[in-house]
Every structure is written in C-alpha cells, then in structure tokens.
Amino acid sequence: MSYAISRFNTIRRKTREVLVGGTIGIGGNNPIRIQSMTTSNTLDVAATVAQCIRLAEAGSELIRITAPSVAAAQALKPIREQFRAAGFSQPLVADIHFLPAAAMEAIEHVEKVRINPGNYADKRSAEARDYTDKEYAEELERIHAAVAPLIRRAKELGRTLRIGTNHGSLAERTMRRFGDTPAGMVEAALEFVRICEAENFHNLVLSMKSSNPKVMIEAYRLAVEKMNAEHMDYPIHLGVTEAGEGEDARIKSAIGIGSLLVDGIGDTIRVSLTEDPWYEIPVCREILSRIRPEKAVVSGGIASSPVCDRSVNPLDYHRRDIVPVTLNAQCEISVAAPPRVFAFADVEKPLAQIICDIREANSKSTPIEGIVLPVATQSDLAAACEVQCALEDEIPAFIFDPVKDSVPELFEHFRPSRRSASYIQRRFNPANAEIIPSWVNVCREKGVGLVVDSTAAARSAVLPELRDFPQEQLIFTTSRKSPGVHMVGGYRQLAQALANVGIHSPIWIRASAKNTILPFSKIPTASPDEAPTLEAALLAGPLLCDGIGDILSVETAGDLKKNLQLAYAVLQGARTRQTRTEYIACPSCGRTLYNIQETVREIKARTSHLDGVTIGIMGCIVNGPGEMADADFGYVGGAPGKINLYVRKECVATGIPQAEAVDRLIALIKQHGRWKEPA
C-alpha cells in the first residue's frame, strides 16, 4: 500500500504546486484550499456576480461556476470582469460537461476549467457493447484529438484544468471494461492525465467524487497509489458529491473528506450541501480545524511510520473478521450483523432518572444495544447493578466502567445477569501489567466478559496475556493515543496489534470529548452546534469505512438521546447501518431546473420515516441519473418545470409537472412495496 506514508499519523502527501491564475497555489507547501460553487443561473450575470462576492467574503478561495452551454461560457467574461471590478481576486472555475465548445469558450475567461472525463466528447451509444483492445485504443486516440485543443489553449494562457471524475458518470468504454467502480473512476482520470502529459501540460488537479463515502475514499486512495506508481504528483481536490443538507450531509462530508485528510491526502476541499453555498465554507473550516493538515509535515526525506496495516485492505472495503459475540438471544456482534450501538448513562443523576432517560432514548429506530455505567465507588456499583436489574429485559449488554485505573476490589462480589451480557471494562497500564492474569482469571471464574481499554504503548504487554482468554468474551477499545498518533491511527494500530497476535475479538469505537482527533480545548470552534457532529464523524467515520469497528458509542453531544441519535447518523453516513431514509441530493448549480432546496425539504418531510429506502433528488440530467445510481428511487429535473422519476437506474416516467411530482414519487414508492404509513 503506497497511497499514504503512514496510516497512524498525518504526513501530508508531497505534490507539485499548481498556481491558479497566478494567485492561489494548490498543493506543494500551500495550506489546504477551501472552495465552493455558485447556484445561480450563469446567464444571470448580476445574480452570479453577487453570489461570487458573497462566497469570496465568506472565505471561498476558489469559486466554481457552471457553464452548461456556449452562451453560459460567454457569460463568464462579464462575470469575471465585474467580480474583479468589485475588488476580488479569487480565481474563477468553469464547470463543463459534454460540450468541448463550451470549454473552449470558458478557458478564455476564467483561470481554471473542470472537465469530466466521463462525458467530455463522450456520448453513450444506443447499444452497449464490449471493446477490444484495439477499439479501446482507438477511442483513446479519438478522445486525445477532442481534448487536445483545450489542453493546448490552457497551456498558452497559463490556465489550470481539473480532471473531475464522478462515480456514476463514466464513459461507456470505461464502464464496459472496469464497471462503475473506483478502479473505473481512477482509470478514466488517468487516461486524461496521460493525454495532458503527452501534450507536456502539467497544470492539473484531480478529483474522484461520489455520494457514497466508501466509494469516494477507495477511489482517491487508489488514484494516489496509481499516480505514485507512474511518478505523478498532481494535487487532489476532495469532496463527497450530492451529500444533501443538514446534519446528514455534514456527517457524510466529514467522513469522506476527513478519512483522506488524516491519511495526508488532499490539497483543496469542497463540502457539497443542498443549501446556499456560503453555508459550505464554515463546514470546510470546521473539518480543517480539527485535522489541521496544514500543520502536518510535507513528505520528502523525513522518517515516518511506514504503512503497515494488515488488519484491513484500505483499497477494498471489507469488515474486519471477528468472532461472534453474543449479547443476548436477539443481539449478536458479528460480521453478519451491523455495528452495534452503546450509550453512556449519566450516573450523577438520581437512579430513577437514569432509568427513565435510558428508556426514553431507547426506541425501535435507535435501539440501545449496550449501556455503559461508570463506577468509582461501592455505591456507584450498587446503583449500576440496580440499573441492570431494572433494564436487563430491555438492554442486551451492560458495561461496568471503572473510573479509576485500578479498582478490582469493587467487583469482588459482582454477579452477571443471566439474561443479558455483562462486561467489565479494564484499563491496562504497562506499569502494572502483572495484574493482568489475576484480573482475567477473576472475570473468567465469574463468567463476565472483559472490555480491554489499552493505549498503544501497553498493547505489547497486554495482548499476549489475552490470547488464551475466550475471544467471544472480549471487546477491545482505546481511549488514549500514543504520542504523534491521531485517534483514527490509534484504533488502526489496535486492529493491527490484534491481527499480529491472532486475536479476532470486536473493536469498540468510542467517540467522546476526551477521545477526539484534537482535544476540544485546542479547536477554535466557529460553529459550536456542529462540533459534536463533526467530532463523532471525523473519528468514527474513517474507521467504519476501513471496516474497523463493531460497536460505536458517541459521547460528544449534550445528553444520552442526542448521542444515541448521532451514533446512528454516523453509521448511516458511513453506509454501515441504515436505520432511516437515505437521501442523495445535489447542491444545485446553474443547471438546476427547479427549486431543489424546497423540494428536498418537502420530500424529507413526507418520506423520512421510511427506513432502508434511498431517494435521489437531483437538479438536472447531466450527472443526476448516474450519481444517484445506487438510489432506490430518483427525482430528477428533466426540463424547466418538469421532473423525471427513476426506479434504480431506470427512468420510469418523464415530463411530470413539478406540482405533481412529489405525489407521483410517493405513489411510485407505494407501487414497489416500499411504503409504510408514518407512526
């Protein structure tokens, strides 16, 4: 694996510096750049200039504008002139799909042009067919001839090109050979890079976007590995496309972008929200403030931790293999089951209130599958046992968590429940490793499972002592990291350490204020309401997308219920456990053919109770059908005021008046047996 220098600490990938407009450097020693995109009709010059100004004032360092036609590309000239006249120097970027003529016009007026190798001079034929090697090579020659004029003009003018691949919008030749896969996305981009290099043009930035964070993460990692093999050092633009709006969109974006930033990958980012674009900028800042990639050491001639992680394959998602652990007859921790959710009780409250809070939070859509009860004294232990006695028919597992490092005497007379699994958490310390055998024996004699909370430094001493302990009675976690290792890296090290000694017990991810990418006290939080969401997503999301993590608990929000809901939202964002409706929604741009923000709110209001259903809400047909390819149902702008409806990848209705379209979508869901009435 050569996509990252280290999986355990953030060492930024060394890239060439690409200057955009001679003012903004991407890659090299520059900080991670923040960018966004206007949503106005590009032909409305005044509205687009106004949005550019507002984005610049919000902190967007590059501003993208769609150019879906030659006329729209021509409008970029007065837009740029008026934007510059207003005193702003941020580079403008044209977004091009399908039309080389629009790209050739746009390159005259703006500093950077984004092209999609899946549809630039490429159209789907009426009949899909396989390509021989000769036919494939001939297609590449045709593409070279089509894109060469743009490359040469960009070179003459000192412009930059972004080769932006999107999952779901690959060319037919790529789909037939590689499928709609990360490998196909990467090859599509590198084909264009090789064409640019053949023209001696290197002012390039690459992106590999998807609405699915897992696909996006794998595609970027594979792209970097392939580029390294071919000695390419181009900067990377990160983003989760069609993320939607609200908390879910922020979670998906933090998972996808954060996973790569902690690996040292990424030179510019955009968070795609189905909201006004200036709301994207604070989220970008929040993500960067937590990972601080601009402070990471740029690679090149420095000693670093090698990529040595055999516990998972980061280029191909699979859950880490574990032995099944039974919590009760209805709840098992296993690869066949989704990750389970534990919650922390506030033991400082009165006993009756603790039990009431747990019951109020525990629901069919957000079940508590383990409750953690902190214990520091004998009275705490007595109260914890009363909680277990009251709830053992409702909660599958109880974890008694000593607040102090060494309190085995508290559990001398502890007896486990007969109906629910009981676990005692033990924090091992290498300084007193000699207590491990006796403590393990105590647990085994009483039939109680053991949660091992160990720092990386302690694992070498701890793990050999546990190899003979029944693996189905063990759960591992870590709440502290080694120096120089971020918390994601700490869990990755734990997974590797377990693999090294042949232990296949579950791993419990704990996202808390004490177990974060950076300590809360060092984060200049601009949006305190988003802090719990981003903290949980940035720690747990990268691990879940790696296949690490069989249990998740969140302790970043204010109360048990909010933490529980956030845990399920992170699992959903990482595509590891779907418990509610999933939405794929584009952020809107000048191509959008209806008010997508209002429509998303209306559709969510009427369908948010449908667990296990994915709905795509797309502004236009340029990328919409492809990028929502894994949605169960799709709502796509087909023409002004007209909507097309999809079932999976098949368009089943076209030209529906917008006023009727949401009702028709609901009818379609009912027709396919996926509807249920709200509770």
Residue 524 has pLDDT above 90, yes or no: no
What confidence tens digit (pLDDT) does each residue in 276-321 have? 999 999 999 999 988 865 454 554 433 344 445 566 788 888 899 9
Q: Is residue 299 part of a domain?
A: no
What confidence tens digit (pLDDT) does each residue in 632-664 have? 999 999 888 899 999 998 999 999 999 999 999
Residue 128 has pLDDT above 90, yes or no: no
501 lies in the same domain as 610: no
Domain count, the chain: 2
Query: Which of residues 529 and 569 earns the better pLDDT score?
Result: 569
CATH of the domain at 642: 3.30.413.10
CB-based contact 237:208 (threshold 8 Å): no
pLDDT of residue 423: 82
Dist CA 31 CA 671 (whole Å): 51
**Could you tell me what percent of the chain has a pLDDT over 90?**
57
Dist CA 327 CA 628 (whole Å): 37
Q: Is residue 239 part of a domain?
A: no
Dist CA 205 CA 164 (whole Å): 8
498 lies in the same domain as 603: no
345 lies in the same domain as 492: yes
Chosen domain end from 447, 477, 507? 507
Dist CA 603 CA 635 (whole Å): 10
Chosen domain end from 507, 540, 560? 507
Q: Write the DSSP assignment of 317-329 as a string of letters.
A: --PPP---EEEET
Radius of gyration for the alpha carbons in the chain, expressed in angstroms and rounded:
26
Report the sign of the C-alpha dihedral through residues 557, 560, 564, 567, in that order: positive
* Strand extents, DSSP E, 130-267: 160-166, 204-209, 237-238
596 lies in the same domain as 494: no
Q: Is residue 593 part of a domain?
A: yes
Q: Is residue 276 part of a domain?
A: no
Contacts of 240 (CB under 8 A, 6+ apart): 209, 210, 211, 213, 216, 252, 253, 255, 256, 257, 271, 272
340 lies in the same domain as 485: yes
Residue 100 has pLDDT above 80, yes or no: yes
3-state secondary structure 446-463: HCCEEEEEECHHHHHHHH
CB-based contact 15:28 (threshold 8 Å): yes
pLDDT of residue 456: 67
pLDDT of residue 406: 45
CA distances from 112 to 52, 75, 108, 115, 358 (A): 15, 15, 10, 10, 54
597 lies in the same domain as 477: no
Q: What is the mean pLDDT of residues 231-249?
A: 93
Q: Distance between terminal CA atoms of the chain?
A: 48
CB-based contact 248:272 (threshold 8 Å): no
pLDDT of residue 123: 64
Alpha helices (runs of H) in 467-510, residue ranges in sequence order: 487-501
Q: Is residue 414 part of a domain?
A: yes
The conformation of residue 472, written as its DSSP 8-state character, comes to: G
**Could you tell me what percent of the chain has a pLDDT over 70?**
86
502 lies in the same domain as 590: no
Chosen domain end from 492, 507, 522? 507
What confidence tens digit (pLDDT) does each residue in 319-329 have? 999 999 988 88
Long-range contacts of 329-337 (CB under 8 A, 24+ apart): 330/396, 331/369, 331/396, 331/397, 333/475, 333/506, 333/550, 333/551, 334/550
Contacts of 450 (CB under 8 A, 6+ apart): 423, 424, 425, 426, 440, 443, 469, 473, 474, 475
330 lies in the same domain as 476: yes
Parallel/antiparallel/unpaired status of strands 331-333 and 325-328: antiparallel
Residue 270 has pLDDT above 60, yes or no: yes
Dist CA 521 CA 289 (whole Å): 12
pLDDT of residue 429: 54
Predicted model pTM:
0.91
374 lies in the same domain as 470: yes
Residue 379 pLDDT grade (very low, low, confident, very high; cuts 50, 70, 90): confident
Residues spanned by the domain of 667: 582-671
CATH of the domain at 422: 3.20.20.120
Residue 102 has pLDDT above 60, yes or no: yes
pLDDT of residue 483: 67
Q: What is the mean pLDDT of residues 413-429?
A: 67
Q: Write the DSSP assignment of 378-425 as a string of letters.
A: HHHHHHHHHHHHHHTTT-SEEEEEESSS--GGGGTT----SSSEEEEE
Q: Is residue 412 part of a domain?
A: yes
478 lies in the same domain as 626: no
Query: What single-letter amino acid sits at 218?
Result: E
Q: Is residue 485 part of a domain?
A: yes
Q: Is residue 85 part of a domain?
A: no
617 lies in the same domain as 478: no
pLDDT of residue 526: 42
What confidence tens digit (pLDDT) does each residue in 17-41 have? 999 998 899 999 999 999 999 999 9
478 lies in the same domain as 331: yes
CA neighbor of 374 nearest in space, from 421, 424, 449 = 424
